[in-house]
Amino acid sequence: MEQPSSHLRIKRAEDVSVVEFADRKILEELAIQEIGEELHQVVDCEPSIKLLLNFKNVDHLSSAALGMLIRLNKKVKEQNGDLKLSDINRQIFEVFKITRLNRVFDIHDTADEALARFQA
């Protein structure tokens, strides 16, 4: 079941919500805010959500985008959900490493690997 939205493409893989980004650059403040709001709504609808963010279309992001992801991660954890990130390219992963956020987020090389790791 695919839900169209301006910034996100959301699909279902069994009991996991898989989100891909429509924007290659998660940079602009307004877009980040809208993405954040859309993702919070997705989490609101499913309290113990299993959520996978697939970064395959993303080739640039900013610290504001990292802040949005941190807030989302916190919300998912508070609701006993599970958030995973996948398909982060080398340059973007370097940003996660430099900021030590690779220790905060559950990051996998591919969506398939991430999907296999969600607890039943």
Partner 1 sequence: MTVPSEFGVREADLVELVVPNDLRSVRRSEARIINELARCKYGADVTFAIKLALEEALTNAVKHGNDNDASKRLVVRYSITPRRTVIMVRDEGHGFTPNRVPDPTSDENLERPSGRGIMLMQAYMTRVHFNEAGNEVWLLKENREERPAWTG
Tokens standing for residue 91:
């340059």
For residue 56, the 8-state DSSP code is: T
CB 27 to partner 1: min, Å: 6
Residue span 39-78 as binding mask against partner 1, x where in contact by CB under 8 A, dash where not? ---------------------x-xxx-xxx-xx-xx----
Tell whether residue 115 is a contact of partner 1 (CB under 8 A): no
- Residues in the interface with partner 1 (CB under 8 A) total 24
**Site membership for partner 1, residue 104 (CB under 8 A):** yes
Contacting residue, 1, 4, 103, 119, with partner 1 by CB under 8 A: 103
d(CA 98, CA 101): 8
In order of 13, 38, 83, 94, the CA distances from 70 in angstroms are 24, 15, 11, 17
Determine, following the binding rule CB under 8 A, whether residue 33 of this chain makes contact with partner 1. no
Residue whose C-alpha is closest to residue 117's, from 85, 72, 73: 85
What is the distance between the alpha carbons of residues 77 and 64, in angstroms, rounded to a whole number?
20
* Footprint on this chain of partner 1 (rule: CB under 8 A): 27-30, 60, 62-64, 66-68, 70-71, 73-74, 91, 94-95, 98-101, 103-104
